[in-house]
Amino acid sequence: MRLDLFLKVSRLVLRRSVAQELCDAGMIFVNELRAKASKEIKPGDRIEIRRRTRHTSVEVTIIPSSKQVSKHAAAELYRLLEDTPIDDDPTN
C-alpha cells in the first residue's frame, strides 16, 4: 500500500492530499529516510511524521486489504512509538 494512502486509512493524517503535501515537504520519514507519497509500506516499517507542533513515530503492524477501515480497525494498523509535542516558545 502506498504511504499516502496508509496515512489516510490509518487516520494518522485526515486527508490523502495532506499526506501527499507532508511527503512533498519532507516531513515524513520511513525507516529514517525521507519518503515520497508513492513509497510502498509493509509491516515492520517505522513511519515518522514531523509536524511543526508534534513529532509522531509509529510502527506499521498490519496493511489493510481495503481502502476503507473502521475507526477501531484503523488504530490496530500501527503501534504508537512516540508522540511528542514541540514547544516553539523560546522563553520557556
Between the CA of residue 56 and those of 28, 53, 63, 66, 92, what are the distances in Å?
10, 10, 19, 24, 22
Q: Cell numbers of 47, please?
A: 513511519
**Count of the separate structural domains present in the chain:** 1
In a domain, residue 12? The reply is yes
In a domain, residue 92? The reply is no
In a domain, residue 61? The reply is yes
Residue 88: predicted pLDDT: 62
Higher-confidence residue of 91 and 45: namely 45
Could you give the percent of the chain with pLDDT greater than 70? 95
Average pLDDT, the chain: 92
In a domain, residue 69? The reply is yes
State which residues form the domain around 38.
3-85
In a domain, residue 37? The reply is yes
pTM: 0.88
**Which CATH number goes with the domain that contains 34?**
3.10.290.10
Mean pLDDT of 11-38: 95
Residue 52: predicted pLDDT: 87
In a domain, residue 90? The reply is no
In a domain, residue 91? The reply is no
Q: Residue 18: which pLDDT band, with cuts at 50, 70 and 90? A: very high
